[in-house]
Amino acid sequence: MTIRFVPGCYLLFCWVIMIAGGQAQSLDRLKLQPGRLEYAQEVERTARKNNDTLQLAEACYLYGKTYAFAGDYRASQGYFLKSLQLLEPRGDSNELSRLYIRLSENEGRMGHLRKATEYARQALITANRVGKPKTLARTYGGMAQMYSFRWDGAKNAVADSILFFYRQEERLYRQLNDTLGIAETSLKLGTYFTRLGSPQAITYLNQSLQQFKLAHKDRMIANTLLHLAEGYLRFGQAPLAYQTLRQAEKVYAANNVDEIDIRMGFEQQYMNYYRATGQWEKAFTHLENYNRLERRQLTSDYDGTVARMNVVYETQKKEAQLAAQQIELERFKAERLSTVLISLLLLLAIGASIVLFRLYRINKRTSLHNAELVREQNHRVKNNLQVVSSLLSMQARRLTNEVARKAVEESRLRIDSMAVVHRRLYEGDKLVAVDLKEFIQDLTDGVLKTFDCGHVRVELNIDTNFLSADKATPLGLILNELITNACKYAFPGQEQPMLRIDCHQKQDQIELQLMDNGPGLDESLPVVVVEGQPGRSPKSFGMLLIRSLVTQLKGTCQFSAAWAVTPVASSVEASSEAGPGTLFTLSFRASDD
């Protein structure tokens, strides 16, 4: 679970992300609680002033909690992971165990049960090593919560595990005489018995409610009343459930409690109440409100990602302008930092693209109206990628260092290859599939035009197939890297340069071959190999990227002399057989499963 990082680069990037967090209230669709956000910002300012990494980790943790309460679990997880990067090197602590619990809760809410389990177990291991009863009690509650994500409500082994950990948590809090801890555990046990269908639920929930009232915990009072209403409804006491719901709503409104989980809970319980009492029209209204909140929760991931990407880029541009006024050595360091930030920007763009296409699949299955929303979102991402490409082009013209300029240009080409995917998706009839023939044609023409290689004879032999977007994106990046390398190393010095691309589908396998008539493979050419197998190591970011993308496609590939093709024997291999030209062969499954 330990994550390696470079302290200087990481701290700078963390400042950038937290600046985005300072502006998040105007960027995110879901309302962030002002009090929580202001407190997190204050802790962050103090950490910056004192150069305190431990306090900086706490600021990231507080930002993560703020986003989690607003329902933006993806953004919340990003802040928690940044806090984890700062805390893990310091060893076991109460704060580290607490952070693992938060990570487990977020992963569970997003449906990633395997990761949720890993984080919960890591929290328990850390808490046992720390040895503090309160830390261990909190961790037992986290373990029970992790099992709750996997529970279907029936009496089974999972239910027994949940009850065991809640009982352990309750036992430790009673030993510590921790009133709030006992109240929270009673709330959890009441919720557990409600799902199990046991009348003990009402007793535990009433106990929890009284303790929270004595402690004046308004947020927890509203939440407990909501669970109590659910319990009354579960056990056939509809009038009492409605009365409790109204009381919870008053507490919620009077104390400015604003959390997405509680808001969705109100809509769900009102829907259940009206359904139980046969008031179907009102039940349907609350169902629509619940679905609207759920859609807002989904779209907030995408909007937040694009906004933070723009903030990172603007920060990078300002630093590049400052670097131009410094001495030659400082300028070189700033340009190297710019390359790192641009690489991070590329990764963010790929992540945004993947998130967008997942949203496409969900929305398309929902309704035709949601299909229109998908088209609109895709159009915006296409425009954003074009803007990023234009900004990178402008930045490249301003750079004086040739190495940095080439790195920026290559990054721009990678962005362009993704933009081709989005243009094809937006203009085509299929929302999540790309016409492979047109896609490869566009991509090839674009790269050759960029490198002024219009004289190259191009032969394309491509079947008409449609490829899913999550496979077209890595395939486009692979082709971009290969054609770029051909323009740089194969075509110069050739009287009649030639590029040939063959792509065919055999059953469920896509087989692609890219061939040039350059000087062929030699010891200076960067080669892709499998880790742990004999061969040369990758010598460039491009070849590392090809290896990663082939793995993402779950395919196999091989470099060889153009006229001496050898069988593919592993996921990524390299051949050093002599022969004119270079041949790249790639094979992967066409379907997504």
**Residue 579 pLDDT:** 44
Q: What are phi and psi of 244, to 5 degrees?
A: -70, -40
pLDDT band at 532 (very low <50, low <70, confident <90, very high): very low
Q: Provide the angle, in degrees to the nearest 10, between the axes of the packed helices 328-366 and 368-398.
A: 170
- What percent of the chain has a predicted confidence (pLDDT) above 70? 74
Cα–Cα distance for residue pair 108/87, rounded to 1 Å: 22
435: which strand partners?
Answer: 466
**Per-residue pLDDT at 57 exceeds 90:** yes
Tens of pLDDT, residue by residue over 300-357, are 554 554 444 444 444 455 555 545 555 766 777 777 887 888 888 888 888 887 887 7
pLDDT band at 534 (very low <50, low <70, confident <90, very high): very low
Number of H helices, E strands in the chain: 21, 8
In this prediction, residues 512-539 reach a mean pLDDT of 60
**Per-residue pLDDT at 545 exceeds 70:** yes
**Residue 300 pLDDT:** 55
Ranked by mean pLDDT, the top range of 34-38, 107-111, 278-282, 531-535 is 107-111
Closest CA to 60 of 96, 111, 6: 96
In this prediction, residues 439-460 reach a mean pLDDT of 88
**Residue 429 pLDDT:** 59
Structure tokens at 149: 């994500």
Structure tokens at 541: 């970011």
**Per-residue pLDDT at 572 exceeds 80:** no
Q: Which 3 state secondary structure label does DSSP give 269?
A: helix
Cα–Cα distance for residue pair 36/573, rounded to 1 Å: 52
Closest CA to 28 of 376, 289, 311: 311
37 within 8 A of 30, measured Cβ to Cβ? no
**Residue 56 pLDDT:** 92
What is the rounded (10 degree) CA torsion for 552, 553, 556, 562? -110
Tens of pLDDT, residue by residue over 286-296, are 888 878 877 76
Q: How many CB atoms lie within 10 A of CB 559?
A: 24
**Per-residue pLDDT at 472 exceeds 50:** yes
222 within 8 A of 241, measured Cβ to Cβ? no
**Residue 87 pLDDT:** 92
Tens of pLDDT, residue by residue over 357-370, are 777 677 666 656 65
- Encoded amino acid at 539, one letter: K
**Residue 19 pLDDT:** 39
- What percent of the chain has a predicted confidence (pLDDT) above 90? 22
Structure tokens at 497: 């340069």
**Per-residue pLDDT at 5 exceeds 50:** no
Q: Which residues contact 313 (CB under 8 A, 6 or more apart)?
A: 341, 345, 388, 391
- Encoded amino acid at 48, one letter: R
In this prediction, residues 561-580 reach a mean pLDDT of 44
Q: What are phi and psi of 467, to 5 degrees?
A: -115, 140
**Per-residue pLDDT at 514 exceeds 90:** yes
Tens of pLDDT, residue by residue over 397-447, are 777 787 777 677 767 776 766 766 666 666 655 556 888 888 899 889 888
Q: Which residues contact 24 (CB under 8 A, 6 or more apart)?
A: 32, 37, 67, 75, 304, 307
Cα–Cα distance for residue pair 99/93, rounded to 1 Å: 10
SS3 of the chain: helix, strand, coil, percent, to 5 = 70, 10, 20
pLDDT band at 31 (very low <50, low <70, confident <90, very high): low
- Encoded amino acid at 133, one letter: P
